[in-house]
Structure 1
């Protein structure tokens, strides 16, 4: 049970740290960007990400449990999972802190591909784990589209913020 709880909490920790890191930028820089009319309301993001992090965390636990851990058949799926978490957590600073719409787009394309591969590999170990990754992939499709539209519609601010 504790391993499952740890696996569920891990994505939330990175997400929470990112949330604290990007908060000043969401209140200022992000508000000034041109965004498509179909963008979800800001309050939806925290709710959706909490649900997604819980599902993907539990899915990773199930794959670890049923796939013999990192030294068993779960090695590839868990490596993909770790990689997608790094891509996931890196997107927010790239987009919000460095103001790099282009590189955040590159990151999210790699993230989408990685999550698709991860979901497929999870499915091969445990079908429920694969299914738990599906909402994440759907949300990333929306996020990728949103990132693209913001990149396209804000050409005048394409220079990343200097640190």
Structure 2
């Protein structure tokens, strides 16, 4: 498979996860979310879609870059991709837990696990391709912020 096709496959997968997560969020963002207490540092709603779009693109490119190293380092790529897939699933699960089930506490527990898996994915990717690893750092930073935001929302609404 050509390198561009691998990147395109992972990129499309990440954007699809983002799109489906957005669909889960849409209803709650106009019904439940406005009714809960949020901290003063809560960003405006419009910021989330462009930030997540950029992050999903960076994740997809990063994942594709690692997949492109399969022939040279198959065992490490398999291990790294396992973490990548798990963190991507956890990413989607957080949206369902927080926005569909309206459960900030369970979402907080889940996002801590998500952060750990993103960090491990970054660590594994960095061993295979330094640039691929670096592409995950903004994602790790944003999820760090989201974890603090999630924790604050839970605390303010308990």
Q: Above 0.5 in TM-score?
A: yes
How far has the Cα of 1:110 moved from its partner?
A: 0.2
Say whether the 8 Å CA contact 2:6–2:68 is kept in structure 1.
no
Deviation, 1:4, is 1.3
Q: How does 1:24-63 map to 2 (within 5 A)?
A: 24-63=27-66
Unaligned runs of 5+ in 1: 156-163
Does structure 2 conserve the Cα–Cα contact (< 8 Å) formed by 1:67 and 1:125?
no
Structure 2: 5+ residue runs without aligned partners? none
Q: Does the alignment pair 1:2 with 2:34?
A: no
> Please, what TM-score do these two structures have when normalized by structure 2?
0.94
Secondary structure of 1:99's aligned partner: coil
Q: Deviations over 1:73-130 (max 9, x none)?
A: 2111100000000100000110011111111001100000000010011000000001
1:135-156 deviations in whole A, cap 9, x for unaligned?
Answer: 000000100000000000001x
Q: How does 1:60-75 map to 2 (within 5 A)?
A: 60-68=63-71, 71-75=74-78
| In structure 1, C-alpha distance between the alignment counterparts of 2:90 and 2:72, rounded to whole Å | 22
C-alpha contact 1:34 1:150 (8 A) present in aligned 2: yes
Alignment of 1:122 with 2:125, yes or no, is yes
**58-67 or 140-149: which moved more?**
58-67
Partner of residue 83, structure 2: 80
Give the C-alpha shift of residue 22 in structure 1.
2.2
Q: What CA distance in whole angstroms lies between the structure 1 residues aligned with 2:38 and 2:128?
A: 39
C-alpha deviation, 1:21, in angstroms? 2.1
Output the TM-score relative to the length of structure 1: 0.91
Say if 1:147 and 1:121 are closer, same or farther in 2 by CA, change over 3 A. same
Contact 2:69 2:128 in 1 (8 A): yes
